[in-house]
Amino acid sequence: MIRTTPFHDRLAPRNATGLWQHWSGHLAAVKYQMDEKFEYFAVRNAAGLIDTSPLYKYRITGPDAEGYLAGVLARDVRSCRDGQAQYTLWCDDAGHVVEDGVVFRHSRDHYLLTSAEPNLAWFADRIGRRRVQIEDVSAQYGSLAVQGPRARRILCGMVPELETLRYFHHTQGTIGGAAVHVSRTGYTGDLGYEVWVESDDASRVFDAVTEAGAGQGVIPVGQAALLMLRIEAGLVLIGVDFHSSRFAETDEQRSTPAELGFGWMFRDVATTDRAFIGRDAIRRELAEGTSRWAMVGLVVDWRDWDERHRAAGLVPPKDEHPVVWEMMLYDDAGERVGYTTSFMYSPALQRHIAMARVRPHLAAVGSRVQLEVTIEHRYQTVTAEVAKPPLFNPPRKTDVPSPASSAPSAAAPSASSAPPTRSSTTTGVPA
């Protein structure tokens, strides 16, 4: 049976397209406006409201909760303090990624972990004799992401603590008379927050947020725009940029944390005595440099792109719809050296960009590769340059606000050597 989220009654009348898709057994809007780019620019220029309620939410409690999570999660949760959150992974014994998610710490014996896919049985099977309880609280809470440069201004009037809330921290508050948790997290690469509320209170929280954002260009944002935003932000997506090792048929379909760009999570792996799942395999890979791939950003040479298409008599396409199947990459000698996992034309950067896997020797910023494209039914290549993700990374995303700085920032990153342009008008912490 397809379910609806706690915010569905408020969002369904706003869906002018009538387009819905399935997300973890729930209806999720593809787009509310006829053009998803309208929603995309709402996030980049004002704020967007994204219903992230279908995420799986697991409450982990008990005297051994911290030690248990330190053993099953790849990143050391012991460095997370009360009121903080961590992006993290969990792996199999061979050091391949099972999935990723965000863990929120309330106290040493109380955590909340989110994931895109169901993982309750996987975690429960690894409790052993530890004094730990894991409860699936997914249906008990709704989550509403408020993302964009005006997000702080909109929410601070209701939750003053957000004036000084740091990136990847969370706090309690009240919105519309309902108790909420608010985390400074999101899946857009922009300034943003996620509001977590009991399902029965979701409608009045939504009403209060929309009232606070009235006249500021705030609109609901669907999955189509969200997937554009996350590519600019360099945020990996399960089933697209990587696959769970649980369901992979071969090691070619599996990925290690280092191959996904998360080697920074293991700076102390050579010396730590923390026995987490996959530790020995990850330690060997990092020590011996055996990673098969490096996850990088790519920026396509716009001149080469335009020239290739104009030579075929075509207007160079600038299509923001993500391409989430592999496009091959070659070196200048014609040898295959990688592939893209996500590709699109970025409206903010006004460049074709990609998330890609390349051989480690080409991972340095500025390395050149040739991207295979099809033009008039023929394979051709265009030049692209390796760049460090995230490709869109405004200072407002992680700034340390002062109590008087709730006004939005208009600053946005720019792409070097860009063509002349015209101006353009995910997780959970319930207690």
**pLDDT tens profile 401-413:** 766 555 544 444 4
pLDDT at 10 over 70: yes
Residue 218, φ and ψ in degrees, nearest 5: -90, 130
Classify domain 294-387 at the CATH class level: mainly beta
- By DSSP bridging, strand 218-220 and strand 47-51 are parallel
pLDDT at 56 over 70: yes
The domain segmentation of the chain, as residue ranges, is 8-56+139-221, 294-387
**Cβ(100)–Cβ(26) below 8 Å:** no
Residue 42, φ and ψ in degrees, nearest 5: -60, -40
Whether the bond between 401 and the residue before it is cis, its omega within 30 degrees of 0, is no
The pLDDT assigned to 21 comes to: 97
Average pLDDT over residues 87-103: 98
d(CA 191, CA 414): 17
Structure tokens of 155?
């929410």
User: Fold match between 8-56+139-221 and 294-387?
Assistant: no
Whether the bond between 316 and the residue before it is cis, its omega within 30 degrees of 0, is no
Residue 140, φ and ψ in degrees, nearest 5: -80, -15
Is the whole-model pTM more than 0.85? yes
Nearest to residue 116, comparing CAs of 299, 239, 286, 279?
Answer: 239
Output DSSP code: residue 247: T
Domain 8-56+139-221, CATH: 3.30.1360.120
Q: Which residue has the tokens 């260009």?
A: 217
DSSP 298-330: EEE-HHHHHHHHHHTT-PPP---S-B-S-EEEE
